[in-house]
Structure 1
Amino acid sequence: MTDTPDHLELTALLSGQFDALADLVSGIGEDQWRTISPLPGWTVFDVLAHVVGTESMLLGERPPARDPQEPEVDVETFPHVRNEIGKFNEVWVQRLRSRAGAELLDHYRDVTRRRVEALAAMDDQAWLAPSPSPVGEVPYARFMRVRLFDCWMHELDIADALGKQVDEGGPRGELAFAEFARSLPRVVAKRGKAPAGSLITFELTGPLARTLHIEIGDRARYVDTPAGDATATVALDSGLLVRLGGGRVEPETVLDRIVFRGDADLGRQVVRNLAFTI
């Protein structure tokens, strides 16, 4: 999988993802904006405010000044803030939270419009230049694929909070899932503690249906054609896998939606330890 996706294609996908988020919240009432999301401590409003914050930062902008009428909050005391990225995210959310939902949406549309224009104007040198990102220093192109994944996940977060259905497949879903899937072998081996010599197979149904074989050796890796039968097979919907990996659902509450074959105990151990996204 290349770390340098096509500039025009990824810019178009990000633009479509930004539009999808805006469409999802367009016209909702203020009470719906304040609906609790699957992310700890955040409402639907906060999720979109987080996207505004990250895209504003990428435009070189700083968080709004704190309203002097609002109490000063130490975001590091929040249990869901566990690192510097979490602290950065929370500052933006806190500074935007006093606005009305419709005002935030207008701000979001302005910020994302300018981001798409900035992305489209980048030359190849800037597109390929090393850049700090949540996954380390990578080409800027790879960072933008991480951004697509993050915003796609937040589309699912908002849809789940509002009880809406969205298309989780298509080109945006495919590229976002490809970014998600990069980490899955390491997670299965390190967090799920699948033993050396085992083969873990995920049989995915739903909008991103596919079969993933992960072989645990000196390092965990995908294999196209396994040498033998799977040690454990985990069959579930693709959307459920993504939500487990994103820590959006408690594994114990969804085990009855998963079919385990082979070593079922190992399969359940892996599923209970899939959460890895920031």
Structure 2
Amino acid sequence: MTVHPSLQPSIDAWSHSIEAISELVKPLVEGEWNRATDLPGWSVRDIVSHIIGLESEMLGDPRPIHSLPRDLYHVRTEFARRMELQVDVRRHHTGPEMTAELEYMVIRRARSLRNETRDPETVLRTPLGEDRTLAYALRQRAFDVWVHEQDLRHALNLPGNLDSPGAQLTRDLLLLALPKVVAKDAGAPADSAVVFDVGGALEFMRTVRVDAQGNGTIDESVSLGPAVTLAMDWETFFRLACGRVRPAAVAGQVKIDGDRPLADAVLEHFAITP
């Protein structure tokens, strides 16, 4: 048996991003490992630790037995505590130790993915403690790794891969969330439309339409007379959607045409990641 064709795009996106991360961190000196990122309380080292930890759990490795310090200001929820465990246990690892563990994990994980023969609908327990299908889990790991690749690039001032397979997978996942953001979270009125006009490395235009019952759908057709149009570049789009920046911080990079209060409400609820 071979890998199911529907899983291959996620595997390819994951492989591209994880290899890029390996290349990014390989030449880092110790001070660069400690550089702060956009994620509260997390350094470059911490993001790499997070990736190593979650991918190791996907391989079936046990979670480490470790007590978190009580003074971690950014750890406020049980979800955050779960994510922090794999990070804090590596906080005193050196750069060479980090790169060695990352490279070993990548070898093991890549081998596992090459030999993946399970049905995409197989249910498994994810590192987040959820029961999800294999297809969902692999897609989420590809998404997570690409977004963290961008976190690292932003912290290290090494931009790139904004149109990679991982970027395209991320775009598709983020677009799926927009109907809820517009119709439910932002409370767009019935029979209205909100257009997202995105340029840059990935260009696309999507319209979220809210029907008479207040339900949202998304399509690629152009809306005549939308309630609001939000225009921005791809990097601003995904950084907002992934909670890396607040709307006020990128106000100059988002062009708003139409209903300003509705636009503000959409932007306020734009972040969809935990």
Provide TM-score, normalisation by structure 1. 0.88
Alignment partner, residue 121 of structure 2: 128
Q: Shift of the alpha carbon at 1:232?
A: 0.2
Residues 138-164 of structure 1: CA distance to partner in whole angstroms, max 9, x if unpaired? Answer: 420121111111110001111111111
Alignment partner, residue 46 of structure 2: 46
Instruction: Please show how residues 163-178 of structure 1 align to structure 2 within 5 Å.
Output: 163-178=157-172
Q: Shift of the alpha carbon at 1:89?
A: 1.4
Residues 103-143 of structure 1: CA distance to partner in whole angstroms, max 9, x if unpaired? Answer: 11110111121111112212143x33023455964420121
CA–CA separation in structure 2 for the residues paired with 1:222 and 1:27: 43
CA–CA separation in structure 2 for the residues paired with 1:244 and 1:116: 31
Q: Shift of the alpha carbon at 1:49?
A: 0.3
Aligned residue type for 1:106: A
Alignment partner, residue 55 of structure 1: 55
Contact 1:38 1:161 in 2 (8 A): yes
Closer, same or farther in 2 for the Cα pair 1:136/1:196, shift >3 Å? Answer: farther
Aligned residue type for 2:20: A
Alignment partner, residue 221 of structure 2: 225
**Bigger Cα displacement from structure 2, 222-231 vs 114-123:** 222-231
Aligned residue type for 1:129: T
Superposed CA RMSD in Å reads 2.2
Contact 1:5 1:141 in 2 (8 A): no
Question: 1:271 pairs with 262, 267, 270, which one?
Answer: 267
**Bigger Cα displacement from structure 2, 116-125 vs 16-25:** 116-125
Alignment partner, residue 7 of structure 2: 7
Instruction: Please show how residues 153-164 of structure 1 align to structure 2 within 5 Å.
Output: 153-164=147-158
CA–CA separation in structure 1 for the residues paired with 2:9 and 2:252: 39
Aligned residue type for 1:24: L
CA–CA separation in structure 2 for the residues paired with 1:157 and 1:227: 34
CA–CA separation in structure 2 for the residues paired with 1:45 and 1:233: 39
Structure 2 unaligned runs (5+)?
Answer: none
CA–CA separation in structure 2 for the residues paired with 1:263 and 1:173: 30
Closer, same or farther in 2 for the Cα pair 1:277/1:240, shift >3 Å? Answer: same
Contact 2:193 2:223 in 1 (8 A): no
Instruction: Please show how residues 195-206 of structure 1 align to structure 2 within 5 Å.
Output: 195-206=189-200
Q: SS of 1:215's equivalent?
A: strand
Q: SS of 1:248's equivalent?
A: coil
Contact 1:252 1:272 in 2 (8 A): no
Aligned length: 268
Aligned residue type for 1:161: A
Contact 1:64 1:96 in 2 (8 A): no
Q: Shift of the alpha carbon at 1:26?
A: 1.6
CA–CA separation in structure 2 for the residues paired with 1:82 and 1:227: 42
Alignment partner, residue 30 of structure 1: 30
Contact 1:63 1:95 in 2 (8 A): no
Contact 2:37 2:154 in 1 (8 A): yes
Residues 229-278 of structure 1: CA distance to partner in whole angstroms, max 9, x if unpaired? Answer: 21100000111111111111121111111111111332122112211202
Runs of 4+ in 1 over 6 A off after TM superposition: none
Question: 2:253 pairs with 237, 257, 260, which one?
Answer: 257
CA–CA separation in structure 1 for the residues paired with 2:54 and 2:36: 21
**What is the aligned-residue identity percentage?**
28
Residues 71-98 of structure 1: CA distance to partner in whole angstroms, max 9, x if unpaired? Answer: x5346x7453354432221011010111
Closer, same or farther in 2 for the Cα pair 1:136/1:221, shift >3 Å? Answer: farther
Alignment partner, residue 152 of structure 1: 146
Question: Does 2:95 align with 1:101?
Answer: yes
CA–CA separation in structure 2 for the residues paired with 1:138 and 1:158: 28
CA–CA separation in structure 1 for the residues paired with 2:51 and 2:178: 24
Structure 1 unaligned runs (5+)?
Answer: 67-71
Alignment partner, residue 69 of structure 1: none
Q: SS of 2:265's equivalent?
A: helix
Q: Shift of the alpha carbon at 1:5?
A: 6.3
Q: Shift of the alpha carbon at 1:63?
A: 3.9
Q: SS of 1:128's equivalent?
A: coil
Closer, same or farther in 2 for the Cα pair 1:36/1:213, shift >3 Å? Answer: same
CA–CA separation in structure 1 for the residues paired with 2:129 and 2:162: 23
Closer, same or farther in 2 for the Cα pair 1:186/1:79, shift >3 Å? Answer: farther
